[in-house]
Amino acid sequence: MKVTVSVNGRPWSGEVPARLTLSDLLRDRLGLTGTHVGCEQGACGACTVLADGEAVRSCLLLAVQADGMQLTTVEGMGAPGRLSSLQAALLRHRAFQCGFCTPGFLISATEILGSGRRYSRQELRELLSGNLCRCTGYEPIVEAVFECQR
Amino acid sequence: MPTVGTDEHELLVTGRGRFIADIAPDDCVEVCFVRSPVPHAGIRSVDLGSTQATWGAELGLQPLRLEAGGMVTVLWHPLPTERVRYVGEPVAMAWSTDRYAAENLAEAIFVDYAPLPAGTPLHDAAPDGVLFSRAVDSGGLDEAMAQAHLVLERTFKTARQSALPLEGRGVVAEHDPATGVTTLWTSTQLPHLVRRGVAHALATDEDSVRVMVPHVGGGFGLKASLYAEEIAVAALARRLGRPVRWIEDRTENLLAGTHGHDTRIWLRVAVGQDGRVHAIDADVLSDVGAYSVWPGTAGVEPATAALSLFGPYALEAIRFRARAIASNRCPVGPCRGIGQNAAVFATEQMMDAIAAALRIDPLELRRRNAVRELPWTSPIGRELDSGDYLALLGRLEEASDYQGLLGQRAAARTEGRLVGIGISLFNEISASGSVDYRRRGVTSLPGTDAARVVVTAQGRVEISTSAADAGQGHADTYRALAERELGLRPEEVEVIEGTPRAARTAAGPSSPAARLGWSRASSRPCARRPNRTWSPAPTSPTSTIRCRSIRVAPTSPWSRSIRSAWPPTWCATSRSRIAGGCSTKTWWRGRCAAPSPWASERCFSRSTPTQRTDNS
């Protein structure tokens, strides 16, 4: 089936099998391996990407369902040497160890920050609860996102 | 093998890390394993259904001997051909150009199982199911029990768990027929163990197996074992002559990634009127699943649990029996804490029970029982070399405002709310190394760690270590050491981890041995300057050859992230047999091979009282 998407501002169009997940399209076809697949059942949040500005689980979405969407992955957020303020905040707070969950947190936090609202730390914990981290704990992650609201 | 520069964290925070699932060489095939759906059955026959499938009988893998001190010797067939012993055990594999197609082919594989009746012994060598048994008696227990003011008896159980790293396991293998070298990329904490085990199972020498570790998305012990999948994928790559890749899904991870912590502890204690615990009698029983994990994990959980009971408390007599029993469950491997969780849980629950029975304040009870004068040797020879438990308890009392908490608890209870204060005092065994390996009866692994420090012609320093980072942040530690020992700036230090070629032996991922080994290497950098200044080229085409300042990096699809520090112009190799750091060095005291300013410090001290809340 034919799919046309915009990924990090660049258009992509191609034939995909109906059963191909969006995460596999991004990782295997487009080479955007920053989107990580942790649980393949929507529980861990590592594969979260922005679809038309909304954070979605790319492992639960079929590629064909993303047809026509504007997608943003972690690769679209900043690169070594020119980090986004959110990425810099995560770095400053040492908000990751192994770094596997980090892209998902970045995307979820981007959606949160994009709302324009100011949340309390407790509210941020709730909002980020769809992403799991097994190494660090959540304190520095919440703190980094909280700081970016200022 | 991440090459860890100062921008390492920037890579991770921008999605540019390189984890196992990000490695997909051109022309590679994806593997899907067929796993046993039954807990115990004979294999009557296997119909592969296509030419893109195979199983153990075709791969000709050598079985590995599972053994360690005190254990029943059992053979482990990486892909069993006669009998499966747990749900999730890999039996066959199918491959195709992508995982989707491989799963279709796997569904076409038909394995005819002959289920075995409940109670059938899992291993002929262990008809009673006991894989490991050890009994220790200091003497004097019966007298202590007879004279005790109070004898309490309780049973404590810790549940089976999975370490559940966010990233599952995965292996990518490529065989080079020209050199005979099989290169294995694997998400592991122990590349050296994998190399040795894979070489053995493939009936080849270790130099023909190269193991590389990419970024590892968490391990927590689950990735500190040799797995059948690593062996099978390597064997298939050799057979097919093209790269083979297997990326674990979460179902597989939960079924077949090693489990941990399934231990029951029966405990009897002899207590004096003043609350002093004089003696303990313990029976520790761990369900270790279908197999020990190579070379011999079955004994680790129960033995560590037994030895860790009442760790920081001064006892006069100890008797314990520790056993590991086999069951039709996933094998138990190392998992955060390894036995110590169960021991601390049982110990501290028992301390609370004693406090309640004698109406002594729980904090005061711990104070009365804590070891006061160090060094101290327990009745069964466990040595505590350093620490100050009374001071720690004092700090805990102050920092937690213990008296204030007691008031809060009393107030809450008058309102009908169940609020409790929990106290736990423990010490943690760490810095396991070769001496420990020998004592456990492990002969198949050296248990040593190695580090190599190279000064380049540009004046930079490259640190290669045998340890494989899984998120612990080794590189930061190494840089801090380099700063202190050599006066370097962090950006002048490059860290290369997890490549057995760079460092030939290893103990473990979070073992302080690695750090100490590095420290010693850097402290005496010229101690072992070799005569030769040039080394022969490595056998693999993807390696970087370093000879003085010249670098030759053959092109390869992977070469941008593959850098192997081949024998450099000069080096210092350290074999740290373990040294200290932790306050509890059970068996290793005084065995640090050479004095180092680092070794004498307590940088890894873990004698930490923690506070928890329960309904006691």
CB B465, CB B502: distance < 8 Å: yes
Q: How far B604 CA sits from the closest chain A CA (Å)?
A: 18
The mean per-residue pLDDT over the stretch B55-71 comes to 87
Interface contact flag, A96 B13, Cβ < 8 Å = yes
CA distance B126 to B301: 18
* pLDDT for B543 beyond 80: no
CB neighbour burial string for B246-260, b if at least 16 within 10 angstroms, e if fewer = bbbbbebbbbbbbbb
Range picked from B1-15, B359-373, B379-393 for highest mean pLDDT: B359-373
Of B84-88, B250-254, B472-476, B539-543, which gets the smallest average pLDDT?
A: B539-543
Do B21 and A33 form a contact (C-beta atoms < 8 A)?
yes
- pLDDT of B448: 76
In chain A, domain spans: 2-76, 85-148
Q: Which chain B residue lies closest to A105 (C-alpha atoms)? A: B13
Chain B residues whose beta carbon lies within 8 Å of the beta carbon of residue A78:
14
Query: Which chain B residues touch A132 with a CB distance below 8 Å?
Result: 166
Q: Are B389 and B373 in contact, with CB atoms under 8 Å apart?
A: no
More confident residue, B387 or B435: B387
Low-confidence residues in chain A, pLDDT < 50: none
Q: Are strands B170-176 and B263-271 parallel, antiparallel or unpaired?
A: unpaired
Mean pLDDT over B275-284 rounds to: 98
Q: What is the mean pLDDT of residues B423-452?
A: 79
Mean pLDDT of B407-420: 95
At residue B572, the pLDDT reads 24
Q: What is the mean pLDDT of residues B37-65?
A: 96
Residues of A within an 8 Å Cβ radius of B: 17, 19-20, 27-28, 32-41, 44, 46, 73-75, 77-81, 83, 87, 90-91, 96-103, 106, 132-135
Question: Who contacts B508 (Cβ-Cβ below 8 Å, separation ≥6)?
Answer: B189, B190, B224, B432, B449, B467, B514
Answer yes or no: do B98 and A75 touch at CB < 8 A: no
What domains are there in chain B, each with its CATH number?
19-115 (3.90.1170.50), 170-256 (3.30.365.10), 449-552 (3.30.365.10)
Q: What pLDDT score was predicted for residue B165?
A: 95
Alpha-carbon distance of B253 to A43, in angstroms, equals: 15
ipTM exceeding cut-off 0.85 for this assembly: yes
Residues B474 and B216: their CA atoms lie apart, in Å, by 13
What is the least distance, in Å, from the CA of B216 to any CA of chain A?
7
- CB proximity list for B239: less than 8 A, separation 6 or greater: B54, B59
Of A38, A75, A98, nearest to B15 by CB-CB distance is: A75
What's the CA gap between B67 and B295, in Å, rounded? 6
pLDDT of A8 reads 97
Instruction: Point out the residue among B17, B250, B471 whose CB comes nearest to the CB of A41.
Output: B250
Task: Tell me what pLDDT residue B570 has.
Answer: 24
Are B13 and A34 a contacting pair at CB < 8 A? no
Quote the minimal CA–CA distance from B390 to chain A in Å.
30
Looking at B118-227, list the stretches that DSSP marks H as alpha helix, in order from N- to C-terminal side: 141-147, 191-201
**pLDDT tops 90 at residue B536:** no
DSSP B331: P
DSSP symbol at A33: T
Give A81's contacts in chain B (Cβ within 8 Å).
7, 10
Does residue B155 contact residue B267 with C-beta atoms inside 8 Å?
Answer: yes
What's the pLDDT score for residue B501? 53
Amino acid at B411: A
User: Binning pLDDT at 50, 70 and 90, where does residue B530 land?
Assistant: very low
Q: Which of A47-61, A118-132, B134-148, B378-392 has the lowest mean pLDDT?
A: B378-392
Distance separating alpha carbons of residues B478 and B62, to the nearest angstrom: 38
Nearest CA in chain A to B470: A98
Give the right CATH number for A85-148 from 3.20.20.70, 1.10.150.120, 3.90.1150.10, 1.20.140.10: 1.10.150.120
**DSSP label at residue B490:** G
Mean pLDDT, chain B, rounded, equals 81
d(CA B438, CA B430) in angstroms, rounded, equals 16
- What are the C-alpha distances in Å from B566 to residues B79, B214, B291, B497, B552? 34, 18, 37, 13, 11
The model's confidence at residue B398, banded by pLDDT at 50, 70 and 90, is very high
| pLDDT at residue B431, rounded to an integer | 67
- If one counts every other C-beta atom within 10 angstroms of the C-beta of residue A59, the result is 25
Chain B: residues touching A (Cβ < 8 Å): 7, 9-19, 21-22, 24, 98, 100, 164-168, 215-218, 220, 249-250, 470-473
Residues in Cβ contact with A29 at an 8 Å cutoff, skipping those fewer than 6 apart? A14, A16
With 60 as the cut, is the pLDDT of residue B106 above it?
yes
The DSSP bridge pattern shows strands A48-51 and A70-72 to be antiparallel
pLDDT of residue B522: 42
- What is the C-alpha separation between B106 and B100, in angstroms, rounded? 10
pLDDT value, residue B70? 73
Topology of domain A2-76, per CATH? Ubiquitin-like (UB roll) (3.10.20)
In tens, the pLDDT along B474-496 reads 888 888 888 888 888 888 888 88
* Terminal-to-terminal C-alpha distance of chain B: 48
Q: Which amino acid is at B446?
A: P
Would the pLDDT of B442 be above 80?
Answer: no
Question: Which of A19, A35, A102 lies nearest to residue B12, judging by beta carbons?
Answer: A102
Beta carbons of B14 and A75 less than 8 Å apart = yes
Residue B470 pLDDT greater than 50, yes or no: yes
A100 to B19: CB separation less than 8 angstroms, yes or no? yes
Residues 6+ away with beta carbon under 8 Å from B205: B199
- By Cβ distance, the residue of B15, B21, B217 closest to A74 is B15
pLDDT digits (tens, 9 = 90+) for B156-210: 999 999 999 999 999 999 999 999 999 999 999 988 889 999 999 999 999 999 9
Selected residue of B6, B9, B11, B14 to mutate for chain A interface (largest A Cβ count, 10 A) = B14
Answer yes or no: do B166 and A38 touch at CB < 8 A: yes
Q: Which of A77, A101, A135 to mutate to test the interface with B (most CBs of B within 10 A)?
A: A135
Question: In a 10 Å sphere around its CB, with 0-12 CB exposed, 13-18 middle and 19+ buried, how is residue B470 labelled?
Answer: buried
CB pairs under 8 A between A and B: 113
Whether B310 has a pLDDT exceeding 70, the answer reads: yes
In this predicted structure, the answer to whether residue B409 has a pLDDT above a threshold of 90 is: yes
Q: Residue A100: which of B24, B98, B166 has the nearest Cβ? A: B166
- Residue A36 to residue B167, Cβ atoms within 8 A: yes
Rounded-to-integer distance, Cα B50 and Cα B30, Å: 15
Neighbours of B513 (CB within 10 A): 31
pLDDT digits (tens, 9 = 90+) for A52-72: 999 999 999 999 999 999 999
Q: Quick check: B85 pLDDT over 50?
A: yes
Q: Looking at the predicted structure, is the pLDDT value of residue B514 above 70? A: no
